[in-house]
Amino acid sequence: MTYTAKQLADFLSGTVEGDDSIVISTFSRIEEGVPGSLTFLANPKYTHHIYETHASVVLVNNDFVPEQPLKATLIRVENAYTCLAKLLELAAGAKKTKTGIDALTSIDPTATLGANPYVGSFSYIGINTVIGDNVQIYPQVYIGDNVRIGHNCLFHPGVKILDDTIIGDNCIFQAGAVVGGDGFGFAPKSAGDFQKIAQVGNVVIEDDVEIGANTTIDRATMGSTIIHKGVKLDNLIQVAHNVEIGTDTVAAAQVGFAGSTKVGAHCMIGGQVGFAGHIHIADGIQIGAQSGVPNSLTDASTPYLGTPAMPAKTFARASAVYKKLPELYPEISALRKEVEALKKQLSSK
């Protein structure tokens, strides 16, 4: 990928300050910039690096005001982070797309593949499965029976898509993701052991969803586990049976959704958040990392933190008190002794 600063600015509807003919061919972090690279500044914490970076071009927001002379050429845009994402997508799209079906694959005769497929070595496609156009299936991917996959999907190595799963267009599955495995359903028996409950539902994943590496999405006990359009799930996330995740919700790594939880649209969920089962999370809710959510959340006007999850301001006040507990405890113990002593004096009179 080789572009001039002017070409990039035109693509991003931005403006150039500096040498608009300078050529960039790679990307770099602002603190590790090298000549010929493009970097960006979106977080104010990194502002000091812009004055010493060796990157040739820096994307900045329109409201950035330098306080020192700059060596790099600037491209001013409305949102530097969003524009960087566009450029990274442009660079990724420039890579050659693989096509063809490797000889070392197993594709059932009843399966249907669309135009321009790529199926890598040791992949399997099952009975009556239908796959759309321009789908990329890398080596060692398993796609079971009666699966439906839309157009322009990408399956990285080792992905497992089990029977009856339905997947829309433009979805990405990172390495090791498992979709459609049995939900965790067991009924206690009188003898103290457990009876497995058959999981006869499926998973439905709508368009433009991305599933991270080693994330698991369980099939429903009955009906469907549903991941709505535009959802982005990070690595190592567990989605249990009959969960429903709303449009354009994002969740960071190691989140756990217990069975039948319903999460609304446009929610933002930090890493290691745990959801109890059978609760409802309203649209637009934001939950900080490592929170525990035992009950439904309905108020999107405040972020939530802590276990049990509470409004962020309440959590901050509670945390301030919690830090003081070691010094408060001796004071409380001393006060208790004084109260007991006073009681004894009063009772003796």
pLDDT at 329: 86
Degrees, nearest 5: CA angle 106-111-117: 75
Does 228 participate in catalysis according to the annotation?
A: no
pLDDT at 149: 98
Name the strands in the sheet holding 112-113, side by side, starting at the edge strand that comes first in the sequence. 112-113, 130-131, 148-149, 166-167, 202-205, 224-227, 244-245, 262-263, 280-281
Tokens of 98: 């693989």
In order along its 349 residues, the chain shows pLDDT tens digits of 789 999 999 999 999 999 999 999 999 999 999 999 999 999 999 999 999 999 999 999 999 999 999 999 999 999 999 999 999 988 887 777 888 999 999 999 999 999 999 999 999 999 999 999 999 999 999 999 999 999 999 999 999 999 999 999 999 999 999 999 999 999 999 989 999 999 999 999 999 999 999 999 999 999 999 999 999 999 999 999 999 999 999 999 999 999 999 999 999 999 999 999 999 999 999 999 999 999 999 999 999 999 999 999 999 999 988 888 888 888 888 999 999 888 888 887 6
Tokens of 136: 């990329």
Annotate the chain with three-state secondary structure: CCEEHHHHHHHHCCEEECCCCCEECEECCHHHCCCCEEEEECCHHHHHHHHCCCCCEEEEECCCCCCCCCCCEEEEECCHHHHHHHHHHHHHHCCCCCCEECCCCEECCCCEECCCCEECCCCEECCCCEECCCCEECCCCEECCCCEECCCCEECCCCEECCCCEECCCCEECCCCEEEECCCCEEECCCCCEEECCCCCEEEECCCCEECCCCEEECCCCCEEEECCCCEECCCCEECCCCEECCCCEECCCCEECCCCEECCCCEECCCCEECCCCEECCCCEECCCCEECCCECCCCCCEECCCCEEHHHHHHHHHHHHHHHHHHHHHHHHHHHHHHHHHHHHHC
pLDDT at 185: 93
Exposed, middle or buried by CB within 10 Å (0-12, 13-18, 19+), for 104?
exposed
pLDDT at 224: 98
List Cβ neighbours of 156 (8 Å cut-off, separation of 6 or more). Answer: 138, 141, 172, 173, 174, 175, 177, 213
Alpha carbon dihedral 315, 233, 215, 173, in 10-degree steps, equals -170
pLDDT at 176: 98
pLDDT at 140: 98
Q: Is the distance from CB of 101 to CB of 124 less than 8 angstroms?
A: no
- Single out the catalytic residue among 151, 156, 228, 241: 241
Core vs surface per residue 165-175: b (16+ CB within 10 A) or e: bbbbbbbbbbb
* Residues β-bridged to residue 224: 202
